[in-house]
Amino acid sequence: MDNHAHVKHPKEAFQAAKNRRRRDNKLLYYNDIVLEWITNHVLASVILFDIALIVPLLTLHAPDTVKITLGVISGSWIQWWALPALQRSQNKTQAQNEAKAEVDHETLTYLAKLQDEQMAELKGIAEILRNLKNT
């Protein structure tokens, strides 16, 4: 699809916001990069690690109290990494939605202004036609 001078892609707005964060606070920018890498690469392997930890608990020949204790510890481990990862994912989605809303607003504002200009021009043409008809 061709680009238009008055219509931006949401990715452009999202990237511009990212660049502003980079310029304003380098520490937060690099923190975001690290968190994004962890979210995209490490969390899948952590899920597999947790599955590998929990599944043997089901077959472990130990008292139920030991299984429950190990289950609670592994559950705490899951919460330790899963909740921040979910929050990061939610923040990223929200930022993308805000970028899309900003681009949609700019586009609709441009279209409304263009429509106003066209209506003014049509009124002028109608006035000229009325004057020609009356003469």
Q: Which residue has the tokens 């962890």?
A: 38
Tell me the C-alpha distance between 62 and 55, whole Å.
Answer: 14
**Domain span including residue 83:** 10-97
Domain count, the chain: 1
Q: What is the pLDDT of residues 2-39, one digit of tens each?
A: 666 666 777 787 788 778 877 888 887 888 788 777 77
4 DSSP β-pair partners: 7
Does residue 88 lie in a domain region?
Answer: yes
Q: What is the pLDDT of residues 44-102, one digit of tens each?
A: 666 666 666 667 767 777 787 877 777 777 666 666 766 777 777 788 888 888 888 88
Does residue 134 lie in a domain region?
Answer: no
Is the C-alpha dihedral spanning 56, 59, 62, 64 positive or negative?
A: positive
The overall pTM is greater than 0.85: no
What type of residue sits at position 30? Y
Does residue 3 lie in a domain region?
Answer: no
Is 1 a residue whose pLDDT tops 60?
no
